[in-house]
Structure 1
Amino acid sequence: MAKRIQTLGVVDRLFPQVLSGEKRSTIRWKENQITIGPLRFVCDGDQQQTVDVEVFRCTHMPLSEVASFVGKTDEWPDQIMLEGMREHYPEIKLSSIVQVIEYRVP
């Protein structure tokens, strides 16, 4: 029996960055846990737009550690990170444990 492909929605403004390979990770909080293997991103604004990627690492950590982990400390100081994440998760805190999902676009 074939394994069902994992799916995640991605906001319209970020979907082109996933397609181009510029965006290579995503941060999720209190969502379905993603595992290593195939993953299909679905554009939130147009469900017909999808891209299949290969997840190679999933790491759990406090939100406060993510910017350093993905090499974006200068771009994502704590307050910027928190504000950006609260657009999607209003109750998130810097101490919240998130899942960082890293992937390759074929």
Structure 2
Amino acid sequence: MQYLEIVPRLIPAVRNGTKRHTIRWQEGAVRCGPLTYINQQDPSERLVVWVTEVKTMSLSQAADYLGMSAEWPDPIMLAGMREHYPAIELDSAVVIIHHLSPAATQARFDAGDV
């Protein structure tokens, strides 16, 4: 099983299915299939999702790719990402990981579609 840490404030959105992607930088390879998010502050809290697609692009392209250009202009995107990755730059290659909700992932397991 592959794992990624997640900040506690994002866990409710992953759990309810409104957050179905994450942008990561230099955290190792992620592949399609099951992935466990681990709460950074409480490692006992975990959510399993199914990674459906992994895309690599520059950070400067990510907001447009995700349809968030208006909400995340370059200065806002860079500042937000630097909270997690202080050395990141707009030309840094990031990975955008798309995934199913935990409920859809569980349904996939229940159906034997894994």
The alignment's TM-score, normalised by the length of structure 1, stands at 0.93
Q: Name the residue aligned to 1:60.
A: 56
The one-letter code sitting in structure 1 at the alignment partner of 2:36 is R
Q: Name the residue aligned to 1:88.
A: 84
- Could you list the runs of 5+ residues in structure 2 that have no partner in the other structure? 105-114
Aligned CA-pair RMSD:
0.7
- Could you list the runs of 5+ residues in structure 1 that have no partner in the other structure? none
Based on CA coordinates, which of the two structures has the bigger radius of gyration?
Answer: 2
The one-letter code sitting in structure 1 at the alignment partner of 2:26 is K
Structure 2 distance, partners of 1:9, 1:87, is 14
**CA-to-partner distance for each residue in 1:73-95, whole Å, 9 max, x for gaps?**
11111100000000010010000
Give the percent of matched residue pairs that are identical in Structure 1 and Structure 2: 44
How many residues get paired? 102
| Residue number among 34, 37, 54 corresponding to 1:38 in the alignment | 34
The alpha carbon displacement at 1:12 in A equals 0.8
Alignment of 1:59-78 (within 5 A): 59-78=55-74
Partner of 2:97, secondary structure, is: strand
| Residue number among 13, 25, 29 corresponding to 1:29 in the alignment | 25
The one-letter code sitting in structure 1 at the alignment partner of 2:84 is H
Q: Name the residue aligned to 2:94.
A: 98
Greater strand percent: which structure? 1
The alpha carbon displacement at 1:48 in A equals 1.1
Q: Name the residue aligned to 1:48.
A: 44
The alpha carbon displacement at 1:45 in A equals 1.2
The one-letter code sitting in structure 1 at the alignment partner of 2:20 is R
Moved over 6 A (4+): none
The alpha carbon displacement at 1:101 in A equals 0.4
